[in-house]
Amino acid sequence: MRDDIPSRPETPPAVPVPGPGEATTRRRVLALGAVTAGAVVSIRPALAQTTGSVLNCEIPVPDITRAGRYIDADGNVVAAGTKGAVPPPGRPFKGEDVKRALNGGMLPGTTADSNRAYVAYIRRLQRGTGGFTCFASLQMPRG
């Protein structure tokens, strides 16, 4: 073969033609991929919004049915003026503040004694008590 004559280009490999069932399967896979990608795009903002709302939820101390009562050192709701108990805070605590306090921080506007009492009260919240849903949401792991 001579060097000055260009060689003939090779023919491209044959592309297999899908059978009747294969084309349908590929379309389904592509459609599922498109639906799945849309779901991921929709779910991520929803999770971010959920996380944000959990941190902005509120926990009243004590709940509104026992407003005006004091909180003792163990987190129990007691009569106003009970010796050793602390008065209720002036407003509910935000989820973000409670989460920080549950991890060893301080609730805003509290002393060491009132913080300890309020955190004990919050840890004892039960279903049906104001603030329970917020507290339960703070306990759920986030991804």
User: Has this prediction a pTM greater than 0.75?
Assistant: no
> From CA 123, how far away is CA 64, in angstroms rounded?
17
Read off the pLDDT of residues 48-68 as tens digits, 9 standing for 90 and up. Answer: 445 556 678 999 999 999 999
Contact 95, 29 (CB under 8 A): no
Q: Tell me the longest C-alpha to C-alpha distance in the chain.
A: 110
Q: Is the peptide bond between 88 and the residue preceding it cis, with omega within 30 degrees of 0?
A: no
Confidence of residue 142 (pLDDT cuts 50, 70, 90): low
How do residues 8-32 score in pLDDT, each as one tens digit? Answer: 656 656 656 556 655 567 677 666 6
Cβ atoms of residues 97 and 109 within 8 Å? no
Q: In this predicted model, what pLDDT tens digit does every residue of 67-112 receive, in sequence order?
A: 999 999 999 999 999 999 999 999 999 999 999 999 999 999 999 9
Predicted confidence at residue 138, as pLDDT, reads 87
Q: Which two tokens stand for residue 28?
A: 């389904």
What pLDDT does 41 receive? 47
Helix (H, G, I), strand (E, B) or coil at 94: strand
Count of Cβ atoms closer than 10 Å to residue 65 Cβ: 11
Q: With a cut of 70, say whether residue 134 has pLDDT above it.
A: yes
**What distance in Å separates the CA atoms of residue 108 and residue 130, rounded to the nearest whole number?**
19
* Better-predicted residue by pLDDT, 132 or 143: 132
